[in-house]
Amino acid sequence: MAKKTMHIHLFHTTILDVLSEQSVNDMRATAIIWLRQDLRLEDNPALVESLNSDYSVIPAYIYAPDEEGAWPSGAASRWWLHQSLKNLDKDLGALKSRLVIRRGDSLDELQKLIAETKAVAVFWNRRYEPAAIARDTKIKEQLIDAQIEVKSFNASLLFEPWTIKNKAGKPFRVFTPFWKTCLSYAEPPEPLPAPANIHPPAKFPQSLALDELELEPKIKWAEGIRQAWIPGESGAKVQLDKLIEDVLQDYSDSRNRPDQAGVSRLSPYLHFGEIGPRQIWHRVKDEVGTKHGARLKTGAQVYLKEIVWREFAYHLLYHFPYSQDRPLYEQFTDFPWRRDSRALKRWQRGLTGFPLVDAGIRELWHTGWMHNRVRMVVGSFLVKDLLLPWQDGARWFWDTLVDADLASNTMGWQWVAGCGADAAPYYRVFNPILQGKKFDPDGDYVRKWVPELAALKGDKIHTPWLLSDEELKQAGIVLGKSYPTPIVDHSAARLRALAALKSIKEDTILK
């Protein structure tokens, strides 16, 4: 009888605890956390602020493709976004919370959520793209006018774009002094821990089902991407562990080898905010501090420099917003680009006849990603060998990359075209043959992505058009049928590009 009494007592205690907790939640004021490219729990300043202020929290995601300006999310990015939102909702569920999904005008949907929940505050983490800045500024003004508390935070950069200036107080256009200035600043703050719990509201507002956003493709083309990636915050942590354990020590050498697993592959996780740069920065520095070794230290320094290249991209986009679709150096506006839809289509399909270029494009098609060394070769081939506009390449990457990031995509394409900040010298034209032989010396990368050339041995795979008829026959290759002949003569195309680029440089001097 005593045992039964004790069990009843414990049961009533549990009920009272639950009722007490619910009563406290009913009494709390409500805050909306407007999530965008910060789809994580750890190191999320907007979320932490709401918890520190003891609000009941409604995490909300508003899908508003019409507000992205000229750059609405591409197909590969939309696939990733679906998986990321799904994983975030699961992570929130473990903390007795959930993700509220809406679609439409951001201001309208936020105002509806405020009315439905009687929320008194809206917090978000900042974005830095031109269209996002204009939208967020408008929303902040409207909500403040309505007596709503509004706070925004930095969750996606080590340094805010306006904080890094040259000695004249102006923005940088060259990376090395930007890098050195960043190093002279105080160390980026330590990342914030993930919350142990999130106070739920008394009642969650209505939410769309994730499938209603129609982010995933209607036709089955994403299977290769699905096999290559694990989106979400937990996937980002796994990838960071791989960087630390398997990549970092040899990073300074292996990062240029597409035939090796020598890069971090963290770019899509950074873009969607499933991990923040502060988390990566401090984890890498802690690793060097714990384990001493010249190779590890060198690899870590080179990798952290890559993280700051990402910062530089946002610095440029913030200070020169027109550069998202126009050359940073505007004299390149009149560059004599060619228009050749057939050549562009062959480049987009990986049918240029240059094996390293074709391998890169096919890797992109299959995985939604391309090795950075190969991106430079592929980009140079489009803008210098084919003399096609860099904007054509930027748009194609935007639609097909899972890590399509407006700042990095813009900077990368302008760099390779020679019209942007820290641009490659105009006379630098990547030779796809030499690049292949140097960075894919055994042909393993090309062999993986261009299987019709797989029977060729060693670096012969990079120049199939130079092989004898007998060698081609033994490898089962019929040039022009099983694999295309080169779309251009690289040597002649290089001279054509140099002449065009030199005319721009000379015009600039004359002006």
- Domain containing 147 — which CATH number? 3.40.50.620
Whether residue 375 is found in the same domain as residue 404: yes
pLDDT in tens, 170-190: 999 999 999 999 999 999 999
The pLDDT assigned to 219 comes to 83
Q: Is residue 205 part of a domain?
A: no
Q: Is the pTM of this model over 0.85?
A: yes
Residues 386 and 475 in one domain: yes
CA dihedral (341, 346, 349, 352) positive or negative = negative
Residue 225 lies in a domain: no
Given 396, 413, 415, 449, the catalytic residue: 413
Is residue 306 annotated as part of the catalytic site, yes or no?
yes
- Please give the DSSP secondary-structure letter assigned to residue 16: H
Q: Answer whether residue 344 shows pLDDT above 70.
A: yes
| 250 shares its domain with 392 | no
Q: Which residue matches tokens 């999310």?
A: 73
The CATH number given to whatever domain includes residue 169 is: 1.25.40.80
Looking at the fold, whether 27 and 76 belong to one and the same domain comes out as yes
Which pLDDT belongs to residue 14? 52
| Catalytic annotation present for 197 | no
In degrees and rounded to multiples of 5, residue 343 shows phi and psi of -65, -40
Residue in 372, 452, 465, 471 annotated catalytic: 372
Q: Which of residues 285, 319, 353 is at a domain's end?
A: 319
504 and 357 in a common domain: yes
Residue 378 falls within a domain, yes or no? yes
How many structural domains comprise the chain?
3
Any idea what the CATH number is for the domain that residue 477 is in? 1.10.579.10
The pLDDT tens digits of the residues spanning 117-143 come to 999 999 999 999 999 999 999 999 999
Residue 403 lies in a domain: yes
* pLDDT in the model for residue 428: 84
* Residue 97 counted as domain residue: yes
User: Which percentage of the chain shows pLDDT scores above 70?
Assistant: 93
170 and 142, same structural domain? Answer: no
137 shares a domain with 244: no
In a domain, 226, yes or no: no
- Report the pLDDT value the prediction gives residue 292, as an integer from 0 to 100: 80
Residue 490 has pLDDT above 90, yes or no: yes
Model confidence band, residue 1 (pLDDT cutoffs 50, 70, 90): very low
| Residue 256 bears catalytic tag | no
Q: Do 449 and 366 have their domain in common?
A: yes
The proportion of the chain whose per-residue pLDDT surpasses 90, expressed as a percent, equals 87
Is 372 catalytic? The answer is yes
In terms of domains, do 311 and 373 share one? no
pLDDT at 13: 47
Examine residue 212 and state whether it is found in any structural domain, yes or no: no
Are 325 and 420 in contact by the 8 Å Cβ rule? The answer is no
Average pLDDT over residues 183-203: 96
Asked whether residue 424 falls in the same domain as residue 313, the answer is: no
Is pLDDT at 153 greater than 60 in this prediction? yes
Strand partners for 63? 103
Distance CA 345, CA 343 (A): 5
Domain boundary among 319, 338, 357: 319
Among candidate residues 25, 67, 116, 309, the one labeled active-site is: 309
Range of the domain at 365: 330-510
Reported as a single tens digit per residue, the pLDDT across 285-311 is: 999 988 888 889 999 999 999 999 999
φ and ψ at residue 129, rounded to 5 degrees: -75, 150
Active site residue 337: yes
> Is residue 309 annotated as a catalytic residue, yes or no?
yes
Residue 324 lies inside a defined structural domain of this protein? no
